[in-house]
Chain A
């Protein structure tokens, strides 16, 4: 009996290894979600974020009818949605980045603190976006 269960145990081991985790199936802890969002928002801020920022700045500061044109863009709900979304990318990246700077200085590295600060980072990013979004809309 014992020998047989050992064999099946070994077979099970061989069958299950190496084990690949399906990242979409396992439940990610909040700090992991914050980290993925930090990377994703960073990539989107690079493109199309940076060229859009420079286009906007150029339009407002240097083109004769630019400011009026910018204001007419602001009446378009689709533009407002995009602006609010990019505001959130920036604010999330900003808050999560400050958290990483604190972690580099060895603040908030304990598990409980790390969980708490990721909740705070996510919440502040969303709250600031809603506040500034309310001003846009």
Chain B
């Protein structure tokens, strides 16, 4: 019975990460096309026009969604790269923690950049 029940696949995060990588990719594609359209319709030519684009409430939320998708996507990609090339467990774990910490830092920084705009 034990042999039948034995789970031979890994930690089961593979499929979830695979799917998250693709969903975040689609979110980023949509935002990129949106931004490209905005830039083509009215190219921002000075500081005020840049601020006007990103101080719009929907645009700010969409930008934040894009950046969070980017950071999540980057985590999965960097984790895959580190698993492929960095074999000593200690070094790999250290690098993975550095990647996670930097991405958390970037998330907070992104919120600051986008929401500081309102106060200006």
What are the residues of chain B within 8 A of A97 when measuring CB–CB? 25, 29
On whether the beta carbons of B77 and A42 are closer than 8 Å, the reply is: yes
Instruction: Give Cα A42 to B51, complex, Å.
Output: 28
Set of chain A residues within 8 Å of B47, measured between Cβ atoms: 60, 66-68
Report B-chain residues with C-beta under 8 Å of the C-beta of A60: 47, 50
Per-residue CB proximity of B37-75 to A under 8 Å, as 1/0?
Answer: 000000000110011001000000000000000110010
Q: Which residues of B contact A101 (CB under 8 A)?
A: 22, 25-26
Nearest CB of chain A from residue B29's CB, rounded to whole Å = 7
Q: Is residue A109 contacting chain B, with contact meaning CB distance below 8 A?
A: no
> Considering only CB atoms, which chain A residue lies closest to B120 in the complex?
A62
Chain A residues lying within 8 Å of B116, measured Cβ to Cβ, are 61-62
Question: Does B15 lie at the interface of the complex (its beta carbon under 8 Å from any beta carbon of A)?
Answer: no
- Interface residues of B: mostly helix, strand, loop or mixed? helix
Q: Are A46 and B106 in contact (CB under 8 A)?
A: no
Q: How far is A91 from B36 in the complex, measured between Cα atoms in Å?
A: 12
A88 to chain B, nearest CB (A): 15
* Contacting pair B26 A61 (CB below 8 A): no
The yes or no answer to A25 lying at the interface (CB within 8 A) is no
Contacts of A94 in B (CB 8 A): 29, 32
CA distance A95 to B3 in the complex (A): 46
Residues of B within 8 A of A (CB): 22, 25-26, 29, 32, 46-47, 50-51, 54, 70-71, 74, 77-78, 81, 99, 102, 106, 109-110, 113-114, 116-117, 120
